[in-house]
Amino acid sequence: MSSDETKATNIVWHDQAVSQEKRWKLNNHKGCVVWLTGMSGAGKSSVANQVEMLLNQNGIRTYLLDGDNVRHGLCQDLGFTVQDRAENIRRVGQVSKLMADAGVVVLSALISPYRSDRDQVRASVQEIASFHEVFVRASLSTCESRDPKGLYKLARAGKIKNFTGIDDPYDEPLKPDLVLDSDNKTVEELASETVAWLEKKISL
């Protein structure tokens, strides 16, 4: 049986009584998706955590979807093939979209190495909220020197296959909304830079 044959056809869209405008007004700010992309070790999760803390202190409703964390639940059935990576990004993108519609500033921190997958998430999210692609830029040498999980060492030894930056490509964003220089700035500096830029985007 093909996947098309297993899809439900007896479904309809139900309009909701509480509008997006009302949800956002209650929060006193817009919902949006801030998508942090970059190679392993670039600092995505560290920056996202610091950004969320600063936004929370400023009264902004947030949620952080970390690439490793979602693979413990939402995407625990997925591996790291091209197809599984695409499905991983699609799922996180759809969850991000729903949460942004609810009025949450969603920080999605994932390697998301393929430009086509990120572009599809952007197109989907922008149907209902703004999408901000943040490129946490760090050279391969910087990422390898950090290597917090020891993954680059394992990839270089051939013990991990399809590892981004070693034997699998990373498509740098062509026109990111914000570029963070993780080679030369601290996490605190990058987070402050992001918050200052973002708060102009989410005000009602």
Domain of 98, CATH number, reads 3.40.50.300
CA trace torsion 81, 117, 121, 191 (10° rounding): 90
Q: What pLDDT score was predicted for residue 26?
A: 92
Q: What pLDDT score was predicted for residue 1?
A: 43
CA trace torsion 45, 50, 55, 58 (10° rounding): 170
pLDDT 10s digit of each residue in the chain, 204 long? 455 566 777 888 888 899 999 999 999 999 999 999 999 999 999 999 999 999 999 999 999 999 999 999 999 999 999 999 999 999 999 999 999 999 999 999 999 999 999 999 999 999 999 999 999 999 999 999 998 889 999 999 999 988 999 999 999 999 999 999 999 999 999 999 999 999 889 985
Residues in the chain: 204
Residue 193 lies in a domain: yes
The one catalytic residue among 46, 108, 112, 182: 112
Provide the domain limits for residue 71: 20-202
Residue 157 lies in a domain: yes
**Which stretches does DSSP call E strand in the chain?**
32-37, 62-66, 105-109, 130-137, 178-181
Q: What pLDDT score was predicted for residue 204?
A: 59
Q: What pLDDT score was predicted for residue 48?
A: 98
Residue 9 lies in a domain: no
How many other β-carbons are positioned within 10 Å of the β-carbon of residue 112? 27
Residue 11 lies in a domain: no
| Catalytic-residue membership of 112 | yes
Helices 82-101 & 115-125 angle (0-180, nearest 10): 20
176-195 CB burial, b ≥16 within 10 A, e <16: bbbebebeeeebeebbebbb
Residue 146 lies in a domain: yes
- Give the C-alpha separation, 34 to 68, whole Å: 17
Residue 144 lies in a domain: yes
Burial of 29 by CB count in 10 Å (0-12 exposed, 13-18 middle, 19+ buried)? buried
Beta-strand pair 178-181/32-37:
unpaired
Q: What pLDDT score was predicted for residue 14?
A: 86
Q: What's the structural domain count of the chain?
A: 1
Residue 165 lies in a domain: yes
Residue 97 lies in a domain: yes
